[in-house]
Structure formats: structure tokens, C-alpha cells
Amino acid sequence: MKKRDLKMKILKLLKGREMYGYEICGVLTSKGENVQLSYLYKVLMEMSNDKLIRSYWRESDQGPNMKVYDLDTLGKQELRSMLKDAIEVVHDFYGDYLAKLPPEKGLLAWQRLIAGEFEAPKAVIFVLSRPAVLAMYRKALEMYCTEMDPNPVYLISEQAAALDLKMSNLIIMKGNHTDIPLRNDFADFVVALDPPKQKLVNEAVAEFYRVTKQGGTSVLGFPNIEEQEDPLSVGAFVERIEYDLANDKCLGREAIDSIFRKRFHDVRTARVIDFTFFIGSK
């Protein structure tokens, strides 16, 4: 086994608990990993030096003191990074799945909920935060580009240069939720299927308001924003991690609704699958 793989396995074993060196060796052996104890201790020392784990001596009533290992700060960060990488892969496949659902059952159902609020929009802006949800955006973009042709549809993203989207009337520009490089009162419709970072919700709503023309509509989607008394499902857990919603400082539905009402009128929400869309008119 490569040293990198061994270190990752050790970090996962130490998640939420302390272990002696021989315990770690025993668990690895039970999982079919043939690791010599002397080599394991060498790797553990290297990980301690790198601040991935920490060690200390524990007194024993039945013999000499024993060295115990648990996670250090960098080890916890490494585990968090591993989780995020795994979830990004899962979310990518999940996005493909949602994108293939029929419009009345998929994430595009939000479009039906606001249809009729404006007729034949001349300017539509989509704001993309995470490339992992590009599949969902692609279907929405294809629909709007077809309906609005030859009028342009704008996609705002930090990864603008890397997006491979072949739609003749799609204009891709570099920007984000809080920096849309278009003039004031520009768009009939502004939408983000994925939310801004939690600390930037106020700024994002203000920016959406700025570029939305009078009579226009802005929409922001948030996954699993509803209060849940029951334990999260696997899907809800994945999205909470992906969108940085897995901590006590997350904004709830009432807080986001209040932020919208400071800018927009006729504010309401729509629940589609496990997303809550906040819809406001200017």
C-alpha cells in the first residue's frame, strides 16, 4: 500500500476516537491490509510531525504507559477535504440525474411556478456558483436559449473560461453572485439554481436587485433550507456539506425571506424536490 493511502486510512480510523498504535495495526490487518508494526509507527511519527495527528502517553494500571493517537487540526482538515471531494463526485452524478428528469418533476419545475409573471423576457441572467451543478444549468440554459433565440441569455460564472457550452445566443461572462458584470436594471429575469456562500447572501440579493429591471423577477435556490426535525437523508446530508450548510451559523428560511423582503416585493418560496426557491419581484 502506498504511504499516502495508508495515511488516509489512518485518518479515517482516528475520526472521532483515540487509538493505540497496535490497535490501528490490528484494524488494518482485519481489513486485509498487511502493514508491519515497525513501518506503521514510522508513518505515525511522520504524521505527528506534519500535524495530521497528535500523540501523548497514557498511564496504564496493567503495565507501562502507552502512546495514544488522535487527530490534530490538519488531520481534521484533510478528512474534511476528502469528504468534500467525494461529495463533489456524488453531486455531479446527482446533477446529471436531476437534469434528465422531465420538467414537471425535475428542478426546472421552478420555472412553471413563475411562468406568466413576465411575457417574452428580453434579458435573462443565470448565475452559476459550482461547476458540479452545471448539468442542471445546462437544461435550463438550453430551454431559455431556444425560447429566446436570437435574444441573448447570459451565464455568469467564476469558471466562465472553462465552461463548454455550445449555444449560439448564450453569452458567458466572468463573475459571481455578488459581482454581475452588467448594468443596473438590465434583466427581466435573474436566477441562481445554487446559492451564494452563506456570509454573502445579503450582498448577493442586493446585486440581484441591482441588475433586475422594474417589474422583473429574481430567484435564488437553496438546498434543504427547510427545518427538519427528523435525521437528514443521505441526499440532504450530501447537499448540506456541498453547499456549506452543515453548521449552526447557516441562515434559515425566515432569515433569507427577511433579506429578500428588504429589497423585493411579492416575495414567496417554492419547494421543488429538496430545493427551496426564493422568488422576488422588483
- If you average pLDDT over every residue of the chain, what do you get? 85
Q: Which three cell numbers stand for residue 190?
A: 435573474
Greater confidence (23 vs 114) lies with 23
Residue 228: the pLDDT is 58
Cβ atoms within 10 A of the Cβ of 33, count?
A: 14
Domain count, the chain: 2
Same domain, 89 and 142: yes
229-270: per-residue pLDDT in tens?
Answer: 667 677 677 777 776 666 555 678 889 999 999 999 999 998
Same domain, 118 and 52: no
Task: Kindly report the CATH number assigned to the domain that includes residue 211.
Answer: 3.40.50.150
Would you say residue 78 lies in a domain?
Answer: no
Give the containing element (helix H, strand E) for 271: strand 265-272
Same domain, 146 and 44: no
Would you say residue 66 lies in a domain?
Answer: yes
Q: What is the pTM of this model?
A: 0.75
Greater confidence (100 vs 81) lies with 81
Would you say residue 9 lies in a domain?
Answer: yes
Residue 219 has pLDDT above 60, yes or no: yes
Same domain, 178 and 130: yes
Domain that holds residue 196: 85-281
Residue 21 has pLDDT above 60, yes or no: yes
- Beta carbons of 152 and 170 less than 8 angstroms apart: yes
Mean pLDDT of 210-239: 79
- Beta carbons of 77 and 84 less than 8 angstroms apart: no
Would you say residue 79 lies in a domain?
Answer: no
Mean pLDDT of 66-76: 94
- Give the C-alpha separation, 258 to 252, whole Å: 10
Same domain, 139 and 277: yes
Distances, alpha carbon 68 to alpha carbons 2, 30, 57, 65, in Å? 24, 20, 6, 10
97-135: per-residue pLDDT in tens?
Answer: 777 777 667 666 767 666 555 566 789 999 998 776 777
